[in-house]
Protein backbone atom coordinates (compact mmCIF):
# COMPACT_ATOMS: atom_id res chain seq x y z
CA UNK A 1 0.00 0.00 0.00
CA UNK A 2 1.47 3.34 -1.06
CA UNK A 3 1.67 6.49 1.01
CA UNK A 4 -1.07 7.98 -1.19
CA UNK A 5 -3.37 5.10 -0.31
CA UNK A 6 -2.60 5.51 3.38
CA UNK A 7 -3.49 9.19 3.06
CA UNK A 8 -6.83 8.21 1.50
CA UNK A 9 -7.62 5.95 4.46
CA UNK A 10 -6.59 8.60 6.96
CA UNK A 11 -8.73 11.17 5.18
CA UNK A 12 -11.75 8.89 5.40
CA UNK A 13 -11.07 8.41 9.10
CA UNK A 14 -10.69 12.10 9.82
CA UNK A 15 -13.50 13.51 7.65
CA UNK A 16 -16.47 11.24 8.27
CA UNK A 17 -17.93 13.62 10.83
CA UNK A 18 -17.58 16.54 8.39
CA UNK A 19 -19.75 15.04 5.66
CA UNK A 20 -23.37 16.08 5.38
CA UNK A 21 -24.65 13.22 3.25
CA UNK A 22 -23.89 9.89 1.64
CA UNK A 23 -23.92 11.63 -1.73
CA UNK A 24 -21.08 13.86 -0.56
CA UNK A 25 -19.24 10.81 0.80
CA UNK A 26 -19.39 9.16 -2.64
CA UNK A 27 -18.41 12.31 -4.50
CA UNK A 28 -15.42 12.92 -2.28
CA UNK A 29 -13.99 9.41 -2.09
CA UNK A 30 -15.10 7.47 -5.18
CA UNK A 31 -11.98 8.32 -7.17
CA UNK A 32 -9.32 7.77 -4.46
CA UNK A 33 -11.02 4.61 -3.22
CA UNK A 34 -11.19 3.38 -6.81
CA UNK A 35 -7.45 3.92 -7.09
CA UNK A 36 -6.99 2.05 -3.82
CA UNK A 37 -9.06 -0.90 -5.10
CA UNK A 38 -7.17 -0.96 -8.39
CA UNK A 39 -3.84 -1.08 -6.58
CA UNK A 40 -4.67 -4.72 -5.81
CA UNK A 41 -4.78 -5.64 -9.51
CA UNK A 42 -1.58 -7.47 -10.53
CA UNK A 43 0.68 -6.76 -13.48
CA UNK A 44 1.84 -9.30 -16.00
CA UNK A 45 5.27 -10.87 -16.24
CA UNK A 46 5.06 -10.56 -20.04
CA UNK A 47 3.86 -7.58 -22.14
CA UNK A 48 1.15 -9.68 -23.75
CA UNK A 49 -0.33 -10.48 -20.33
CA UNK A 50 -0.86 -6.77 -19.80
CA UNK A 51 -2.24 -6.44 -23.32
CA UNK A 52 -4.69 -9.33 -23.17
CA UNK A 53 -5.54 -9.70 -19.47
CA UNK A 54 -4.40 -7.24 -16.83
CA UNK A 55 -4.73 -4.10 -18.96
CA UNK A 56 -8.32 -4.77 -20.08
CA UNK A 57 -9.41 -5.58 -16.52
CA UNK A 58 -7.74 -2.44 -15.20
CA UNK A 59 -9.47 -0.28 -17.83
CA UNK A 60 -12.80 -1.85 -16.94
CA UNK A 61 -12.25 -1.33 -13.23
CA UNK A 62 -11.19 2.28 -13.70
CA UNK A 63 -14.61 2.94 -15.23
CA UNK A 64 -15.99 1.84 -11.93
CA UNK A 65 -18.96 3.99 -11.00
CA UNK A 66 -19.55 5.42 -7.54
CA UNK A 67 -17.67 2.75 -5.50
CA UNK A 68 -20.47 2.56 -2.98
CA UNK A 69 -19.62 -1.04 -1.97
CA UNK A 70 -16.10 -0.42 -0.63
CA UNK A 71 -17.24 2.86 0.89
CA UNK A 72 -20.10 1.27 2.86
CA UNK A 73 -17.68 -1.44 3.98
CA UNK A 74 -15.49 1.32 5.45
CA UNK A 75 -18.50 3.05 7.02
CA UNK A 76 -19.65 -0.19 8.65
CA UNK A 77 -16.17 -0.74 10.06
CA UNK A 78 -16.21 2.74 11.56
CA UNK A 79 -19.78 2.36 12.81
CA UNK A 80 -18.70 -0.49 15.12
CA UNK A 81 -15.61 1.40 16.26
CA UNK A 82 -13.10 -0.36 14.00
CA UNK A 83 -9.96 0.69 12.14
CA UNK A 84 -10.68 1.36 8.44
CA UNK A 85 -7.20 0.21 7.43
CA UNK A 86 -8.22 -3.35 8.42
CA UNK A 87 -11.13 -3.23 5.96
CA UNK A 88 -9.21 -2.29 2.81
CA UNK A 89 -8.64 -5.79 1.39
CA UNK A 90 -12.24 -6.81 2.13
CA UNK A 91 -13.57 -3.68 0.46
CA UNK A 92 -11.35 -4.28 -2.57
CA UNK A 93 -12.47 -7.91 -2.75
CA UNK A 94 -16.14 -6.93 -3.07
CA UNK A 95 -15.30 -4.46 -5.80
CA UNK A 96 -13.32 -7.09 -7.70
CA UNK A 97 -16.38 -9.31 -7.47
CA UNK A 98 -18.48 -6.48 -8.89
CA UNK A 99 -16.15 -6.30 -11.90
CA UNK A 100 -16.36 -10.05 -12.47
CA UNK A 101 -20.15 -10.08 -12.15
CA UNK A 102 -20.64 -7.19 -14.56
CA UNK A 103 -18.25 -8.55 -17.20
CA UNK A 104 -19.91 -11.95 -17.17
CA UNK A 105 -23.42 -10.47 -16.92
CA UNK A 106 -22.86 -8.29 -19.98
CA UNK A 107 -21.81 -11.35 -21.99
CA UNK A 108 -24.82 -13.38 -20.83
CA UNK A 109 -27.21 -10.52 -21.65
CA UNK A 110 -25.58 -9.59 -24.98
CA UNK A 111 -25.03 -6.15 -23.51
CA UNK A 112 -23.53 -3.37 -25.58
CA UNK A 113 -22.74 -0.57 -23.12
CA UNK A 114 -21.50 -0.44 -19.55
CA UNK A 115 -21.28 2.97 -17.85
CA UNK A 116 -21.25 4.75 -21.18
CA UNK A 117 -18.51 2.62 -22.75
CA UNK A 118 -18.67 -0.50 -24.92
CA UNK A 119 -18.84 -3.64 -22.81
CA UNK A 120 -15.55 -5.46 -22.34
CA UNK A 121 -16.58 -8.32 -24.61
CA UNK A 122 -17.32 -5.77 -27.35
CA UNK A 123 -13.88 -4.19 -26.97
CA UNK A 124 -11.81 -7.32 -26.41
CA UNK A 125 -13.91 -10.24 -27.69
CA UNK A 126 -15.92 -12.74 -25.68
CA UNK A 127 -13.04 -15.10 -24.89
CA UNK A 128 -10.73 -12.48 -23.44
CA UNK A 129 -13.60 -10.83 -21.56
CA UNK A 130 -14.56 -14.13 -19.91
CA UNK A 131 -10.91 -14.62 -18.96
CA UNK A 132 -10.68 -11.12 -17.46
CA UNK A 133 -13.85 -11.74 -15.48
CA UNK A 134 -12.39 -15.01 -14.22
CA UNK A 135 -9.29 -13.13 -13.07
CA UNK A 136 -11.41 -10.60 -11.17
CA UNK A 137 -13.29 -13.46 -9.51
CA UNK A 138 -10.02 -15.12 -8.49
CA UNK A 139 -8.88 -11.87 -6.87
CA UNK A 140 -11.87 -11.81 -4.51
CA UNK A 141 -10.60 -14.39 -2.00
CA UNK A 142 -6.93 -13.97 -2.88
CA UNK A 143 -6.94 -10.29 -1.92
CA UNK A 144 -8.10 -11.12 1.60
CA UNK A 145 -5.96 -14.25 1.96
CA UNK A 146 -2.78 -12.25 1.35
CA UNK A 147 -3.64 -9.37 3.69
CA UNK A 148 -0.81 -9.13 6.26
CA UNK A 149 -2.97 -7.06 8.63
CA UNK A 150 -5.73 -9.59 9.30
CA UNK A 151 -5.53 -12.55 11.64
CA UNK A 152 -6.00 -16.00 10.11
CA UNK A 153 -9.35 -16.61 11.81
CA UNK A 154 -10.66 -13.28 10.51
CA UNK A 155 -9.47 -14.12 6.99
CA UNK A 156 -11.30 -17.46 7.11
CA UNK A 157 -14.50 -15.78 8.22
CA UNK A 158 -14.29 -13.06 5.54
CA UNK A 159 -13.50 -15.58 2.80
CA UNK A 160 -16.46 -17.69 3.93
CA UNK A 161 -18.68 -14.60 3.65
CA UNK A 162 -17.33 -13.86 0.17
CA UNK A 163 -17.79 -17.47 -0.96
CA UNK A 164 -21.40 -17.54 0.25
CA UNK A 165 -21.98 -14.17 -1.45
CA UNK A 166 -20.66 -15.54 -4.72
CA UNK A 167 -22.91 -18.60 -4.52
CA UNK A 168 -26.00 -16.51 -3.87
CA UNK A 169 -25.21 -14.13 -6.72
CA UNK A 170 -24.75 -17.04 -9.12
CA UNK A 171 -28.07 -18.49 -7.93
CA UNK A 172 -29.84 -15.20 -8.63
CA UNK A 173 -28.19 -14.95 -12.04
CA UNK A 174 -29.36 -18.49 -12.86
CA UNK A 175 -32.96 -17.52 -12.14
CA UNK A 176 -32.69 -14.31 -14.17
CA UNK A 177 -31.08 -16.01 -17.17
CA UNK A 178 -33.33 -19.05 -16.95
CA UNK A 179 -36.49 -16.96 -17.05
CA UNK A 180 -35.20 -15.19 -20.15
CA UNK A 181 -34.07 -18.39 -21.89
CA UNK A 182 -37.37 -20.15 -21.33
CA UNK A 183 -39.50 -17.13 -22.21
CA UNK A 184 -41.08 -17.17 -18.75
CA UNK A 185 -43.73 -14.54 -18.14
CA UNK A 186 -45.41 -16.27 -15.21
CA UNK A 187 -43.00 -14.61 -12.78
CA UNK A 188 -44.59 -13.03 -9.69
CA UNK A 189 -43.32 -10.02 -7.74
CA UNK A 190 -42.37 -12.47 -4.99
CA UNK A 191 -40.26 -14.44 -7.46
CA UNK A 192 -38.53 -11.25 -8.53
CA UNK A 193 -37.74 -10.29 -4.94
CA UNK A 194 -36.11 -13.67 -4.31
CA UNK A 195 -34.04 -13.35 -7.48
CA UNK A 196 -32.98 -9.74 -6.87
CA UNK A 197 -32.08 -10.43 -3.24
CA UNK A 198 -29.83 -13.29 -4.32
CA UNK A 199 -28.36 -11.58 -7.38
CA UNK A 200 -27.84 -8.08 -6.00
CA UNK A 201 -28.73 -7.42 -2.37
CA UNK A 202 -26.11 -9.68 -0.82
CA UNK A 203 -23.12 -8.30 -2.72
CA UNK A 204 -24.32 -4.71 -3.08
CA UNK A 205 -25.37 -4.24 0.53
CA UNK A 206 -25.40 -7.10 3.02
CA UNK A 207 -21.91 -8.54 2.64
CA UNK A 208 -19.94 -5.27 2.33
CA UNK A 209 -21.59 -4.08 5.56
CA UNK A 210 -21.20 -7.40 7.36
CA UNK A 211 -17.51 -7.85 6.52
CA UNK A 212 -16.82 -4.23 7.43
CA UNK A 213 -18.32 -4.93 10.84
CA UNK A 214 -16.41 -8.21 11.17
CA UNK A 215 -12.97 -6.70 10.52
CA UNK A 216 -13.98 -3.76 12.71
CA UNK A 217 -14.52 -6.06 15.68
CA UNK A 218 -18.28 -5.62 15.89
CA UNK A 219 -20.52 -7.78 18.04
CA UNK A 220 -22.57 -10.53 16.42
CA UNK A 221 -25.69 -8.40 16.92
CA UNK A 222 -24.05 -5.47 15.15
CA UNK A 223 -22.81 -7.66 12.29
CA UNK A 224 -26.26 -9.17 11.72
CA UNK A 225 -27.98 -5.81 12.11
CA UNK A 226 -25.78 -4.31 9.43
CA UNK A 227 -26.22 -7.38 7.23
CA UNK A 228 -30.01 -7.08 7.41
CA UNK A 229 -29.78 -3.37 6.70
CA UNK A 230 -27.73 -4.20 3.63
CA UNK A 231 -30.25 -6.79 2.44
CA UNK A 232 -33.09 -4.29 2.56
CA UNK A 233 -31.18 -1.36 1.08
CA UNK A 234 -29.42 -3.58 -1.45
CA UNK A 235 -32.78 -4.78 -2.72
CA UNK A 236 -33.98 -1.17 -2.88
CA UNK A 237 -30.81 -0.36 -4.80
CA UNK A 238 -31.69 -2.94 -7.47
CA UNK A 239 -35.29 -1.75 -7.73
CA UNK A 240 -33.94 1.78 -8.04
CA UNK A 241 -31.63 0.78 -10.88
CA UNK A 242 -34.53 -0.90 -12.65
CA UNK A 243 -36.61 2.26 -12.34
CA UNK A 244 -33.84 4.57 -13.47
CA UNK A 245 -33.34 2.48 -16.60
CA UNK A 246 -37.00 3.08 -17.44
CA UNK A 247 -37.77 6.61 -16.27
CA UNK A 248 -34.57 8.25 -14.98
CA UNK A 249 -34.11 11.79 -16.25
CA UNK A 250 -30.31 11.68 -16.42
CA UNK A 251 -30.37 8.15 -17.82
CA UNK A 252 -32.74 9.21 -20.62
CA UNK A 253 -29.89 10.85 -22.54
CA UNK A 254 -27.67 7.76 -22.38
CA UNK A 255 -27.40 5.18 -25.12
CA UNK A 256 -28.28 2.35 -22.74
CA UNK A 257 -31.57 3.96 -21.64
CA UNK A 258 -34.39 1.37 -21.44
CA UNK A 259 -32.12 -1.50 -22.45
CA UNK A 260 -33.81 -3.59 -19.73
CA UNK A 261 -36.81 -3.72 -22.07
CA UNK A 262 -34.64 -4.62 -25.04
CA UNK A 263 -33.08 -7.43 -23.02
CA UNK A 264 -36.48 -8.64 -21.79
CA UNK A 265 -35.58 -8.18 -18.12
CA UNK A 266 -38.14 -9.42 -15.61
CA UNK A 267 -37.94 -6.38 -13.34
CA UNK A 268 -40.38 -5.64 -10.52
CA UNK A 269 -42.18 -3.15 -12.78
CA UNK A 270 -42.49 -5.73 -15.55
CA UNK A 271 -43.74 -8.65 -13.44
CA UNK A 272 -46.25 -6.40 -11.66
CA UNK A 273 -47.56 -5.06 -14.97
CA UNK A 274 -47.85 -8.55 -16.45
CA UNK A 275 -50.13 -9.45 -13.55
CA UNK A 276 -52.19 -6.26 -13.45
CA UNK A 277 -52.24 -4.55 -16.85
CA UNK A 278 -55.06 -4.94 -19.35
CA UNK A 279 -52.31 -4.75 -21.97
CA UNK A 280 -50.20 -7.55 -20.49
CA UNK A 281 -50.25 -9.47 -23.77
CA UNK A 282 -48.87 -6.46 -25.63
CA UNK A 283 -46.14 -5.95 -23.01
CA UNK A 284 -45.16 -9.61 -23.31
CA UNK A 285 -45.04 -9.23 -27.09
CA UNK A 286 -42.73 -6.20 -26.79
CA UNK A 287 -40.41 -7.91 -24.35
CA UNK A 288 -40.20 -11.01 -26.53
CA UNK A 289 -39.25 -8.98 -29.61
CA UNK A 290 -36.21 -7.30 -27.94
CA UNK A 291 -36.98 -3.90 -29.49
CA UNK A 292 -34.60 -0.94 -29.84
CA UNK A 293 -37.06 1.50 -31.42
CA UNK A 294 -37.55 4.35 -28.87
CA UNK A 295 -41.26 4.50 -29.68
CA UNK A 296 -41.76 0.83 -28.82
CA UNK A 297 -39.69 1.19 -25.66
CA UNK A 298 -41.82 4.18 -24.66
CA UNK A 299 -44.97 2.14 -25.28
CA UNK A 300 -43.76 -0.54 -22.86
CA UNK A 301 -43.05 2.08 -20.20
CA UNK A 302 -46.49 3.62 -20.76
CA UNK A 303 -48.11 0.23 -20.15
CA UNK A 304 -46.19 -0.09 -16.88
CA UNK A 305 -47.14 3.43 -15.82
CA UNK A 306 -50.83 2.96 -16.61
CA UNK A 307 -50.95 -0.28 -14.62
CA UNK A 308 -49.43 1.47 -11.59
CA UNK A 309 -46.33 -0.70 -11.79
CA UNK A 310 -43.81 2.16 -11.77
CA UNK A 311 -45.41 3.61 -8.66
CA UNK A 312 -45.67 0.15 -7.08
CA UNK A 313 -41.91 -0.42 -7.46
CA UNK A 314 -41.08 3.07 -6.24
CA UNK A 315 -43.26 2.70 -3.15
CA UNK A 316 -41.85 -0.76 -2.42
CA UNK A 317 -38.29 0.61 -2.44
CA UNK A 318 -39.26 3.58 -0.28
CA UNK A 319 -40.90 1.33 2.31
CA UNK A 320 -37.87 -0.97 2.35
CA UNK A 321 -35.48 1.87 3.10
CA UNK A 322 -37.76 3.47 5.70
CA UNK A 323 -38.08 0.26 7.70
CA UNK A 324 -34.37 -0.49 7.29
CA UNK A 325 -33.36 2.89 8.70
CA UNK A 326 -35.48 2.41 11.80
CA UNK A 327 -33.95 -1.01 12.43
CA UNK A 328 -30.40 0.30 11.97
CA UNK A 329 -30.91 3.15 14.43
CA UNK A 330 -32.07 0.61 17.00
CA UNK A 331 -29.10 -1.71 16.44
CA UNK A 332 -26.06 0.57 16.03
CA UNK A 333 -24.94 3.27 18.46
CA UNK A 334 -25.03 6.88 17.21
CA UNK A 335 -21.94 8.00 15.28
CA UNK A 336 -21.08 9.96 12.12
CA UNK A 337 -20.51 6.64 10.33
CA UNK A 338 -23.99 5.42 11.27
CA UNK A 339 -25.41 8.71 10.02
CA UNK A 340 -23.70 8.10 6.69
CA UNK A 341 -25.31 4.68 6.42
CA UNK A 342 -28.73 6.13 7.25
CA UNK A 343 -28.12 8.78 4.59
CA UNK A 344 -27.33 5.99 2.13
CA UNK A 345 -30.94 4.81 2.31
CA UNK A 346 -32.16 8.37 1.77
CA UNK A 347 -29.88 8.70 -1.24
CA UNK A 348 -31.34 5.56 -2.78
CA UNK A 349 -34.89 6.87 -2.42
CA UNK A 350 -34.12 10.41 -3.57
CA UNK A 351 -32.63 9.08 -6.82
CA UNK A 352 -35.94 7.38 -7.54
CA UNK A 353 -37.62 10.71 -8.28
Alpha carbons 245 and 222: distance in angstroms, whole number: 34
pLDDT digits (tens, 9 = 90+) for 157-198: 999 999 999 999 999 999 999 998 999 999 999 999 999 999
Res. 4 pLDDT band, cuts 50 70 90: low
Give the DSSP letter string of 214-265: HHTT--HHHHHHHHHHHHHHHHHHHHHHHHHHHH-TTGGGSTTTTHHHHTT-
pLDDT at residue 352 tops 60 = no
Give me the pLDDT at residue 233, please.
95
The torsion angles phi and psi of 293, rounded to 5 degrees, stand at -65, 120
pLDDT digits (tens, 9 = 90+) for 219-252: 999 999 999 999 999 999 999 999 999 998 877 7
Q: What is the mean pLDDT of residues 14-37?
A: 87
Res. 339 pLDDT band, cuts 50 70 90: very high
Scanning the chain, the segments in alpha helix (DSSP H) are: 3-15, 22-38, 47-49, 55-62, 68-79, 88-108, 120-124, 126-145, 152-181, 189-196, 207-215, 220-247, 259-262, 268-276, 280-289, 294-306, 309-331, 336-350
CB neighbours of 111 closer than 8 A, spacing ≥ 6?
A: 105, 119, 259, 263
pLDDT digits (tens, 9 = 90+) for 206-218: 999 999 999 999 9
pLDDT at residue 353 tops 80 = no
What average pLDDT does the chain have?
93
The H or E element containing residue 117 is strand 117-118
pLDDT digits (tens, 9 = 90+) for 110-150: 889 898 899 999 999 999 999 999 999 999 999 999 999 99
Res. 2 pLDDT band, cuts 50 70 90: low
Q: Are 237 and 204 in contact (CB under 8 A)?
A: yes
pLDDT at residue 295 tops 60 = yes
Give me the pLDDT at residue 10, please.
72
Q: What is the mean pLDDT of residues 329-349?
A: 90
Give me the pLDDT at residue 251, please.
77
pLDDT digits (tens, 9 = 90+) for 256-277: 899 999 989 999 999 999 999 9
**DSSP assigned state of 87:** G
Q: Are 300 and 290 in contact (CB under 8 A)?
A: no
Amino acid sequence: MTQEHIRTINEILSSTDELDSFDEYLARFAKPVGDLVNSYLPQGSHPDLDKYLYGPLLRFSRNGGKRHRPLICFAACQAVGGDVSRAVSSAAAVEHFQSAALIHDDIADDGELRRGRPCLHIEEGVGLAINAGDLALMLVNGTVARDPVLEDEVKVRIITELTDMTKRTVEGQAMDLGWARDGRYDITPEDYLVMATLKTAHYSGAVPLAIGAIVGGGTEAQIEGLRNYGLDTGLAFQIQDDLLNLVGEQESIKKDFRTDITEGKRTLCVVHALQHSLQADRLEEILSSHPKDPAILAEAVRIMEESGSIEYARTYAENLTSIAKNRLVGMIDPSPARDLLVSMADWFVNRLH
